[in-house]
């Protein structure tokens, strides 16, 4: 195979994480090692920035800034939730690639993002433009198919577990009886994040340790069982700490947290409100004090409480994407493959983008205990290694110091794109 010489472009899409920038650092660090990659560009705000021809020169960033991406949360390049719907949009993206001689495209995102990368690449092939597209997995939801787990997941559940432990101690200190506290977490249609809160128990299947109850989208919710669960916990403990996934559904498959709510550009329901719902029915039916909290974006941005394992694997995924593309691979996403030994190990692999796009990996039913509100040893074995290690974040004047890229713009060569 002849060497493909040209520029590379890396962009980020979807919800940010505590480690997505580590993948960008991995891309830049590895791209600098290959002479066939002449320029290293970043796309501002994902595919939306590509359509607007808003590119920055990452090779001009200081090494200190690139290293600093390892501990900086959110999306340093900016992100978007924009769906390419028209042929004109795909054609424009390819036009930008051609004008800037972009031959290597790395897109960090979830399933919708991998679908976008796949379609752009397929259009390039149909028009005879040689380029290589490699997806980099990213989602706190941990719901991408094929890969064992996703960068971003280990850090979000580590942060949530720390919050659960702190809340539990707070409740114990108050000395109140019959207190119910509900913590709503992200995760969309899959319960990986809510399940991860169980690690706050310290790998112990102890019903008396918080979180006492976990409600997952994989287990249909009924008010009757919820009230029974709460009564059972309060018969043994002074307080009941509940974790609920935002995508909780009733036996008919309807979201409990939406009622004609809006959808995003990809048609996904904008979820939220489960925590308040569970708080209200506990108060109304049990005559007890209840409260609810929604972590919101704080759970995915908590770099100060992120996982070193997660961070290392995010960086590794970025490096692997570049190596794969230079070796001739395209239309693939980097996957994380868990080793078979007792000691946790992880290496990278590749899977076709079309196998990833728009798929959803649900939490295995066999990892959920029969009570439907707790996890068993199989989940603990799976998730525990992913939260290990602490990322060293520099502090100044008592606060974490994060990196802001200089974002030197690449001159535009095309006219403005016409959006709908």
Overall residue count recorded for the chain in this entry: 420
Query: Under 8 Å CB-to-CB from 415, ≥6 apart: which residues?
Result: none
Asked if 355 is an active-site residue, the reply is no
Q: Which residues pair with 37 in a beta bridge?
A: 6
Report the C-alpha gap between 49 and 139 in whole angstroms. 20
* CA distances for 320 relative to 26, 136, 335, 356, angstroms: 8, 9, 9, 17
* CA distances for 225 relative to 146, 184, 217, 221, 292, angstroms: 34, 18, 15, 8, 19
Instruction: Exactly one of 89, 112, 141, 312 is catalytic; name it.
Output: 141
Here the tokens at position 69 are: 């991406």
The DSSP string of 80-124 is ------SHHHHHHHHHHHHHTTEEEEEEEESHHHHHHHHHHHHHH
Closest CA relative to residue 307, chosen from 174, 154, 202: 154
Closest CA relative to residue 202, chosen from 16, 345, 383: 383
**φ and ψ at residue 268, rounded to 5 degrees:** -80, 135
CB 266 within 8 A of CB 236: no
Q: Which residues pair with 11 in a beta bridge?
A: 43, 107
CB 54 within 8 A of CB 408: no
- Cα Rg of the chain (Å, integer): 22
Here the tokens at position 135 are: 């997806």
CB neighbours (10 Å) of residue 64?
Answer: 8
Report the catalytic residues.
141
């Amino acid at each position: 195979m002849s060497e493909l010489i040209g520029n590379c472009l890396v962009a980020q899409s979807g919800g940010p994480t505590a480690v997505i920038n580590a993948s960008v650092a991995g891309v830049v660090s590895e791209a600098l090692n290959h002479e066939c990659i002449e320029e290293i560009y970043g796309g501002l705000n994902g595919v939306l920035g590509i359509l607007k021809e808003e590119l920055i020169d990452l090779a001009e960033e200081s090494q200190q800034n690139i290293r600093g991406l390892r501990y900086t949360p959110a999306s340093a390049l900016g992100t978007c939730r924009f769906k390419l719907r028209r042929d004109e949009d795909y054609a424009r993206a390819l036009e930008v690639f051609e004008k800037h001689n972009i031959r290597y495209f790395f897109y960090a995102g979830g399933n919708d993002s991998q679908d976008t990368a796949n379609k752009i690449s397929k259009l390039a092939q149909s028009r005879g433009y040689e380029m290589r597209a490699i997806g980099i997995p990213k989602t706190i939801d941990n719901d991408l198919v094929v890969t064992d787990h996703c960068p971003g997941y280990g850090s979000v559940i580590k942060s949530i577990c720390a919050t659960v432990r702190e809340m539990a101690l707070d409740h114990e200190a108050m000395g109140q009886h019959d207190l119910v506290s509900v913590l709503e977490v992200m995760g969309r249609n899959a319960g990986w994040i809510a399940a991860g809160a169980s690690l706050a128990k310290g790998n112990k299947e102890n019903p008396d340790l918080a979180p006492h109850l976990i409600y997952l989208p994989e287990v249909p919710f009924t008010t009757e069982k919820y009230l029974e669960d709460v009564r059972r916990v309060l018969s043994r403990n002074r307080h009941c700490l509940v974790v609920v996934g935002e995508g909780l559904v009733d036996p008919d498959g309807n979201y409990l947290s939406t009622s004609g709510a809006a959808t995003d550009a990809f048609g996904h329901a904008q979820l939220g409100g489960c925590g308040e719902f569970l708080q209200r029915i506990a108060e109304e039916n049990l005559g007890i004090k209840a409260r609810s909290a929604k972590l919101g974006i704080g759970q995915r941005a908590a770099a100060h409480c992120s996982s070193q394992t997660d961070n290392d694997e995010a960086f590794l995924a970025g490096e692997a994407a570049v190596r794969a593309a230079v070796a001739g691979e395209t239309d693939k996403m980097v996957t994380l493959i868990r080793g078979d030994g007792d000691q946790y190990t992880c290496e990278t692999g590749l899977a076709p983008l079309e196998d990833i796009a728009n798929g959803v990996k649900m939490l295995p039913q066999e990892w959920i205990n029969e009570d439907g509100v707790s996890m068993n040893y199989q989940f603990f074995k799976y998730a525990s290694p992913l939260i290990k290690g602490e990322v060293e974040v520099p502090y100044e004047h008592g606060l974490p110091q994060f990196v802001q890229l200089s974002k030197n713009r690449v001159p535009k060569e095309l006219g403005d794109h016409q959006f709908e």
